Structure 1
């Protein structure tokens, strides 16, 4: 169950990271409020996940999910570059996340 909580925490991390762009430097009240809510939920879920998972593993997976999701959405939402090299390195992060999950007995 902790892995699902961690996955959800990562999704909310993507939400607050993307929210930073929409909040325009936290200057727009509604996007800023959404960003703050997503941040609090993400951190709260991470805190729940680390009750059962090693903190180093959980943190690495949480930030990895956030990095992959944010970079991927950046390509689609903000026209960020989608070079083969960039996509390949995003893939490396995914491999790292899966590897941490499998090596932690979280199958």
Structure 2
């Protein structure tokens, strides 16, 4: 279980306990966290689950693979070095906490 903090563009925060094996996107969509659309359901074809990873406690998620890196070029808000697709951020055993900031827009 990891503690995921979602920071909205206005600074408000939602904190979820997310089980191992669940993606940051799936947890947000299930709990109704605004700002993550996930139009494609996590198949990495829409880039509407874009987040900025601000803090990691414990084992860091793997770096983006080539497919994710390419999809990050199609986000609604310009990508940054800390940009990730939340459908590709799966909670692993070694992750203790993660803070992700949501962009102003996903579409």
Q: Same fold (TM over 0.5)?
A: no
Greater Rg over alpha carbons, structure: 1
Instruction: Give the structure-2-normalised TM-score.
Output: 0.29
Structure scoring higher RCO (CA < 8 A, sep ≥ 6) equals: 2
